[in-house]
Amino acid sequence: MNICVFLSAADLDDRYTGPARRFAELLGKGGHTLVWGGSDVGLMKVVADGVQAAGGRLVGVSVDFLAARARTDADEMVIARDLAERKALLLEKADAVVVMVGGTGTLDEATEILELKKHGRTDKPVVLLNTAGFYDGLKEQFRRMEAEGFLPRPLIDLVFFAEEPVGALAYLEENAGTR
């Protein structure tokens, strides 16, 4: 399976890098391909290193203004013109999506795939990996959106919240191609 992971390129502490390494190892050992933003820095590097070390493939989609940070030993690397093209290419190459910890770019990518799902433009499974409770507030906001009628589809049809890497990958393996 080609699994797109949206995540930060920042250098983060072990409460985030540890679970990211565990997820990367599971992904690689499972024979899956990482589709990611292509950066060879921060948490993006941690995950790419882990997938590659465990035997998985790397498919990166960087963007023109970040090309200098692109990983040079990826199995495939595409350089997009802008962020919109990058998001489109990442989603095009993916069978499923995992949202890991990140900043505004990660949040933008996450809401893009959820909006596409909401409107029936994709049926790819999406997991929000809530490492160290990072997305507790967002999870609460999504539940409020659902309760107050802002979501035309049940929240569970849009995104699965996983607290641990093993649960995230298990959900994807059970749901890819079935939704």
Whole-number pLDDT of residue 176:
78
Residues 6+ apart with CB under 8 A from 10: 42, 43, 102, 103
Q: What is the token pair recorded at 121?
A: 């433009």
Structure tokens belonging to residue 173: 């393996």
- Which is nearest to 75 in space by CA: 48, 107, 43, 110? 48
CA distance 39 to 20: 15
Note if the pTM is more than 0.85: yes
- What CA–CA distance (Å, rounded) separates 179 from 173? 12
Q: How far is residue 145's CA from residue 28's CA, in Å, rounded to a whole number?
A: 35
- CB 86 within 8 Å of CB 63: yes
pLDDT in tens, the chain (179 residues): 999 999 999 999 999 999 999 999 999 999 999 999 999 999 999 999 999 999 999 999 999 999 999 999 999 999 999 999 999 999 999 999 999 999 999 999 999 999 999 999 999 999 999 999 999 999 999 999 999 999 999 999 999 999 999 999 999 999 976 54
Beta bridge partners of 70: 39
